Amino acid sequence: MPSTDPGQHRPVMVEEVLEHLACGPGQVVVDATVGSGGHATVILDRIRPDGWLIGIDRDPEAIERARKRLSRRGRVTLRNDDYANLEVILDESGVDAVDGVLIDCGASLEQFTTARRGFSFRLDGPLDMRMDPRQATTAAQLVNKLPERELARIFEEYGGERRARRIAKAIAATRQQQPITTTAQLAATITRAIPPRARPRRLHAATKSFMALRIAVNDELGSLRKALEAAIRRTKAGGRIVVLTYQSLEGGETKGAFRLARDRSRCPPFPSGEVPRIRILTKRVVKPSAEECGENPRARSATLRAAERL
């Protein structure tokens, strides 16, 4: 089983992922969000001895961790890239079609618990939130430069934050005095914007706004849409696509992409003229067991969807 070192990301729904990926010896599988290599480790065990795992992550620190963990476990190619570029990555690897693709959305425990990465309202650090530090736009740039209305849209649309306009107004007032450059400054500004009695009881007042900013900084939904389309196109007949999502927008993107590829008539043809089709394997989404939710809080919001390429 994968390591359960408390500082290391614990892979979610491992048994369910393996069951739906249904991978076996000799297969070529893409782990599009290889992270710390938790899922990749168990996939490699299944595709041994002559299988090939192509691992992608846009975070160079994740790629380094995966390299250390996976390098001796079999044939592994690691690419530090956005999974939106899946087709280019496969072309460059000389692969036409793969047997399986796993996408495990969102940020990792390592990203959330490393203050200098700026993902967390609990740890003070630079207001960054970039999964790929080579990317130009940071959370600080969005927070300090975007018009108030656009900030409100992000908080509402990506975070489902009911007090989005109030929060955006408070940010606009604060940044007039001095730029907001740290996670603690932003968390305090958001908390002050919400009257004490209106603050959520179980969540930190900044939870939804931080998630919304992270989604915007990394264009998470745009990348997911492209990756799903690429995965559907480049998985061979009988191959599987498995997606773990942690919030409703990611789930909605996945559901939409799967439905489009299921209902041929609604699916736009690809440039080749081919219309790839899939069968949705999870008529009802799969949720983690109560036991797993008890052991790993991150699992609680997880939802698994899977499809088979026809």
Ligand X SMILES: C[S@@+](CC[C@H](N)C(=O)[O-])C[C@H]1O[C@@H](n2cnc3c(N)ncnc32)[C@H](O)[C@@H]1O
With respect to ligand X, which residue has the nearer C-beta, 108 or 174? Answer: 108
- As to burial, measured by CB atoms within 10 angstroms (0-12 exposed, 13-18 middle, 19+ buried), residue 291 is exposed
With respect to ligand X, which residue has the nearer C-beta, 8 or 174? Answer: 8
| Contacting positions for ligand X (CB under 6 A) | 9, 11, 33, 35-39, 56-59, 62, 82-84, 104, 106-108, 131, 223
Q: How far is the CB of 28 from ligand X (least distance, A)?
A: 18
Phi then psi for 161, rounded to 5 degrees?
A: -80, 120
First to last CA, the chain: 32
Q: How far is the CB of 199 from ligand X (least distance, A)?
A: 28
Structure tokens at 241: 């696509």
Q: How far is the CB of 120 from ligand X (least distance, A)?
A: 14
Structure tokens at 278: 């899939």
Q: H/E element holding 304?
A: strand 303-309
With respect to ligand X, which residue has the nearer C-beta, 99 or 104? Answer: 104
Q: How far is the CB of 36 from ligand X (least distance, A)?
A: 4
With respect to ligand X, which residue has the nearer C-beta, 136 or 272? Answer: 136
Closest CA to 247 of 105, 43, 108: 105
With respect to ligand X, which residue has the nearer C-beta, 114 or 182? Answer: 114
Distance CA 225, CA 258 (A): 11
Q: How far is the CB of 107 from ligand X (least distance, A)?
A: 6
Distance CA 176, CA 182 (A): 15
Mapping DSSP to helix (H, G, I), strand (E, B) and coil, where does residue 137 land?
coil
With respect to ligand X, which residue has the nearer C-beta, 110 or 156? Answer: 110
Q: How far is the CB of 233 from ligand X (least distance, A)?
A: 17
Residues 6+ apart with CB under 8 A from 296: 10, 12
